[in-house]
Amino acid sequence: MMETRVEVRFEVGEGATLPAYQTADAAGMDLCAAVDVELAPGERRVVPTGLRAVIPAGYEGQVRARSGLAARHGIGMVNAPGTIDADYRGEIGVILINWGQADVKLKKGERIAQLVIAPVVRAVITQVDDVSAFPTDRGEGGFGSTGT
């Protein structure tokens, strides 16, 4: 499979770590905490990365949880995945939550999330009077309607 490469530029601020892919075939580059942080059970917090990015037009950054933090400590993201639009130039923050039973301390420089760069498809929005004029086998079947 041929991979697509796109340049993403990062401004690396105080306490920040430049993102990096950990393996040759990794889909996401790791984002690290720019500060020490402690999360009590049930607590959520925006953790700064100290990074600002220039993502090319036609792409987005998808911020995703790290499975290791979830498995070991119950740390997740409230808005997974988070989206970084191509025109955003502010600091990248990661909204972490402690779903676990104990306080979790994360150190400055610790990997807290992954950033996946993905192409964006823009929809052409058209208003219609009745969507039932475009039938499907599923129709209005909602949650669980296609089986388990």
For the chain, percent of residues with pLDDT exceeding 70: 98
75 closest CA partner among 51, 53, 44, 48: 44
Q: What is the pLDDT of residue 4?
A: 85
Domain 9-123: CATH superfamily is: Deoxyuridine triphosphatase (dUTPase) (2.70.40.10)
Q: What is the pLDDT of residue 126?
A: 97
pTM, two decimals, is 0.88
The residues spanned by each domain of the chain are: 9-123
Dump the DSSP string for 6-68.
Answer: ---EEEE-TT----B-SSTT-SSEEEE-SS-EEE-TT-EEEEEEEEEEEPPTTEEEEEEE-HH
**Averaged pLDDT score across all residues of the chain:** 94
